[in-house]
Structure 1
Amino acid sequence: MTVSERLTAFARKQWTDGPPATALHEAKRLLINQLKASVGATGSDAVRILHDWSRKTGSGGNASVLWFGGRLAPEQACMVNAALFEVLDFNETHIPTFHHAVSGVLPAVLAEAETDGNSGAEVLAALAIGIEVELACAVILMPTGYFRGFVPGGITGAIGGAVACSLLAGHDDVQIRNALGLAMNSGLGFYQSAGSMALPYIMGMTARNGLTASHMAGLGLDAPAAAFEGDKGMLSSYSDEPADKIAGVLDTLGDAWRIMNQSYKTVPTETITHGPIECVLALRARSNGRTPERMRFAVAPIVVKIADERAERFGAPSSDLEARFDLRHCTAAAWTRGRFTLAEMTETAFTDPAILDLRARTDLIGDAAQETFNGAGLEIVYTDGSTDRIFIPAFRGTPGNPMTDHELSAVFRQSADGVMSPARIDALLEAAWSLETAPDVSTLMTLATLD
């Protein structure tokens, strides 16, 4: 069997038998997490541009645009919703594959479900299966796909979306296999785009491509059966991983669901900053008014490499998009302001002399004992000569230090405060947490509109 055929067989079995209850619950958490990640994103210039374009080119459809309200053609709604999910980098991360797996899948699922009238239970099942298929492909392609410079979610997100939408649309196995092959031909995005409007655009295109692949396969468009593993296929084009890795990954599908290994975020910025920001806020709380002379972070060596490459490319941040990809800025802003919110990525923050000064006195030291982004250590030398240290092995939201359902709801409430009424927030959360009992997603989508 080809990779596409094996993924199709897995998807069919899970759709027929039903994913495990734990995977379905995690899919619901990931949906709520995307609402949390996007509710504060409507003011983004990148989102505004995509929204304006989508209204001009996709009016008259039946798919909802989150937070803005209104309906567009499904493909255009996908573009805007995926950009909303991605632009603040407040979404989940599958750290083993450097991957935001949901932004490319969920917008396509919502658009398809609104079009077809699928139940809430079907939406959660399709979302769980689509993400699991996507992550299997990402595990095969990473880490060398990432090291080559590809955006993992951009090259694999359409795969998850194509599978999920095909299931919702009632496609047969041949159509699902073709949808997978078409989606495998749709991967896009380079990490050179980090810090620019191109990154949310990449995720918008990814979500749209997954939905379109499903639609085209449903109409009879075919694709190469070995689109993934063929000599000129996805594996050799996007990665340097060995072909014999495929069997080991696909043989474990359905055993331990990779969807359960997601990391959630408590503050709106990229993953590598979370451990360091937690360290800063913890030491600041016990600093007793002392002033840092120097901050020294011990982080995984790859974090130093990423941060230094961006510092060389950007210099000091000159936009909110660059600020959230600047670890030194984020930690300096967290210390100076005593918090980290969207306000710490506005121009008043990234041009603040006090933040810029501390940013210049912030060091990143590679710690070979740390293999991932999960943890960080911090030593602060204060101007009075004293020092303080902390090590956080896993930031809040990682599998090693998981965020509870209650905490996830609380972060959404905090993110939505001031743009939605408390009553609307309560109603939206109730609709999301009970989605498996809903006859469709109409109530959820109606509530996901700003007051």
Structure 2
Amino acid sequence: MITLLVTMSAPAAAQERPRPLATQLGEIVAQAEFDTLSEAVRQRLRLTIIDNLASLAAATPHHCDDPFIARLRSRGGAPEAWVPGCGFRLPSEDAAAAIAYLIHANETDDSDFRAELRASPPIFGAALAASQANRTDGHTFAAALATGYSVQGALAAAYGPLQPRFMTSGIWGAPGAASASATAFGLNAEETAAAITLSASAAAGPFQYFYDQSEDKRIIIARAARSGVEAAWLARAGERGAASMLEGRAGLYAALDPERALALDTQNIIDTAARLDGPLYIYPKFFSASSSIIPFLEAIAPMWAERGLGADDVAQFTLSAEPAWARVLADKIINFEPPTSAIGAQINFSFVVALYMTRGSARPQDYADATLADPAILDLARRAQFEELPVGGGTRLDITLHSGEVIRIEPNRIDPRAPAPEAIFLRERKFEQLTERLSTRDRAALRRLGEQALETRSMLDWSRQVDRILR
């Protein structure tokens, strides 16, 4: 009897499996150093640090005792990192959450328009807390910020905005924060990949807060920062996550949209992250409001001041937009309900526009309880209308005056495909407005700390100095 042994070899293409996305990102992040950052990125980081210090200055007098932060503080633990402006230290993952919460508390943070990200809260919070915990210097802090912004932006840009289903920063802020923390901790490529996958499994943030005008929006961002630092600690201790947690058949992209996940261009994600230029795409908010509303305020402001217009001149205003906007905004505009909280007001299109037309500003202090109940603002907000345009019809705001004149406002959009403008003058004005409670001396000292952050020898000492100034 003759026995035939047949050896079958699979086609080469079938044998080759692409390396997991997190593995490749881990290699990029692990190799990042201050010396690899371009001068343009370093300069943008200095500006972004100053912006975030201003947001902390405006938030800490009012939000350090909020229930979320009070709960973090009550749990105790190793005092690894300062929460600047609150006067106490927390375990690094809790400090990251608190810092992220505070930066976003007044809707004065910033955006990465490649995917409508609230970019800084999870990244800055994680990078600063992890850098303090690992006793690193300003160079390492800068590299941590760069890797965090770059990975977060690359992952998010591959999919685009997740609204109105999820808060984009709640999803991609977690692996971005893990990347920043991994750099601050000095993790190797394998550990960094593990941190990214472990944090991605904690990504979350349903968009329902927008419709219910609830304040858990801040907590979603805070949890993203916290999970990133926690994942880095776990990865350093040897914990490992699912290697294909990002792009796998049941990974994060597939959970968001299985059809789109099949066409995911992972090489483009890698190439984008490898440039380490994420900070160049960060654009500050220059009003205390949702980033979707601010482009209209930026267009209204110069005309409103030049013509000396006020709410008494306005008969009504109409937002005209494509179906994608209609799904999010139409019902809230047509069936306007007065906001019940500051953050509910800041994300309410009709209220914010009516507020600006009435008072000529939209700053954190403009959202006091008396403002939320102001009859003049509420009356004008109720006169807002919505018109749905066909796909490709664009977006505009028509302001009808009592005189019969109609002023058409085109929003001041930032091209998401290009680095964001530096906007130095607007940044300086924002810093002055958000730090107006500080003395001239303390304001100058705070700015100086921001300018010198990348050269500091100890981020722990630097954070303590910021804390003293803000208190």
Structure 1 length as normaliser, TM-score? 0.90
SS of corresponding position for 2:273: coil
What CA distance in whole angstroms lies between the structure 2 residues aligned with 1:238 and 1:388?
40
SS of corresponding position for 1:50: helix
What CA distance in whole angstroms lies between the structure 2 residues aligned with 1:34 and 1:398?
24
Structure 1 residues 379 and 212: alpha-carbon distance in aligned structure 2, compared to 1, 3 A threshold:
same
Q: Give me the identity figure in percent.
A: 21
Shift of 1:17: 5.5
* Matched residue count: 444
Q: What is aligned with 1:49? A: 67
What CA distance in whole angstroms lies between the structure 2 residues aligned with 1:447 and 1:417?
19
**How well do the aligned residues superpose, as a CA RMSD in angstroms?**
2.8
SS of corresponding position for 1:105: helix
Q: Which amino acid aligns with 1:302?
A: A
Extract unaligned runs of 5+ from structure 1.
none
Q: What is aligned with 1:146? A: 163
Whether the 8 Å CA contact 1:46–1:197 is kept in 2: the answer is no
Matches within 5 A, 1:378-397: 378-394=397-413
Shift of 1:309: 4.6
Whether the 8 Å CA contact 2:30–2:187 is kept in 1: the answer is no
Shift of 1:106: 1.5
Whether the 8 Å CA contact 2:37–2:276 is kept in 1: the answer is no
Is residue 152 of structure 2 the alignment partner of residue 134 of structure 1? Answer: yes
Deviations 1:140-180 (A, max 9, x none): 2334x435x12111112121121221222122221111111
What CA distance in whole angstroms lies between the structure 2 residues aligned with 1:400 and 1:168?
25
Q: What is aligned with 1:232? A: 250
Shift of 1:59: 5.1
Q: What is aligned with 2:365? A: 343
Q: Which amino acid aligns with 2:403?
A: D
Shift of 1:198: 1.2
Q: What is aligned with 2:200? A: 184
Q: What is aligned with 2:269? A: 249
Q: What is aligned with 1:357? A: 379
Whether the 8 Å CA contact 1:101–1:153 is kept in 2: the answer is yes
What CA distance in whole angstroms lies between the structure 1 residues aligned with 2:415 and 2:64?
29
Tell which structure's C-alpha radius of gyration is larger.
Answer: 2
Q: Which amino acid aligns with 2:458?
A: D
Matches within 5 A, 1:31-180: 31-42=49-60, 48-58=66-76, 60-143=78-161, 145-147=162-164, 149-180=165-196
Aligned with residue 265 of structure 1, among 285, 305, 323 = 285
Shift of 1:3: 0.2
Deviations 1:121-157 (A, max 9, x none): 11011111111011111122334x435x121111121
Q: What is aligned with 1:196? A: 214
What CA distance in whole angstroms lies between the structure 2 residues aligned with 1:427 and 1:83?
24
SS of corresponding position for 1:186: coil
Whether the 8 Å CA contact 2:119–2:282 is kept in 1: the answer is no
Q: Which amino acid aligns with 1:242?
A: A
Shift of 1:45: 6.0
Shift of 1:222: 1.1
Q: What is aligned with 1:316? A: 338
What CA distance in whole angstroms lies between the structure 2 residues aligned with 1:87 and 1:322?
12
Is residue 300 of structure 2 the alignment partner of residue 284 of structure 1? Answer: no
SS of corresponding position for 1:426: helix
Q: What is aligned with 2:315? A: 293
What CA distance in whole angstroms lies between the structure 2 residues aligned with 1:97 and 1:403?
19
What CA distance in whole angstroms lies between the structure 2 residues aligned with 1:47 and 1:260?
34
Q: Which amino acid aligns with 2:155?
A: C
Whether the 8 Å CA contact 1:63–1:73 is kept in 2: the answer is yes
Whether the 8 Å CA contact 1:94–1:100 is kept in 2: the answer is yes
What CA distance in whole angstroms lies between the structure 1 residues aligned with 2:466 and 2:425?
19
Shift of 1:356: 1.1
Whether the 8 Å CA contact 1:277–1:334 is kept in 2: the answer is yes
Q: What is aligned with 1:439? A: 457
Shift of 1:75: 2.1
Q: Which amino acid aligns with 1:228?
A: L
Shift of 1:365: 3.7
What CA distance in whole angstroms lies between the structure 1 residues aligned with 2:456 and 2:333?
47
Q: Which amino acid aligns with 2:127?
A: V
Deviations 1:188-229 (A, max 9, x none): 111112332211111111111100100001001111211112
Extract unaligned runs of 5+ from structure 2.
1-18
Shift of 1:330: 0.5
Whether the 8 Å CA contact 2:280–2:420 is kept in 1: the answer is no
What CA distance in whole angstroms lies between the structure 2 residues aligned with 1:67 and 1:305?
39
Q: Which amino acid aligns with 1:318?
A: T
Structure 1 residues 393 and 22: alpha-carbon distance in aligned structure 2, compared to 1, 3 A threshold:
same
Q: Which segment drifts farther, 73-82 or 180-189?
A: 73-82
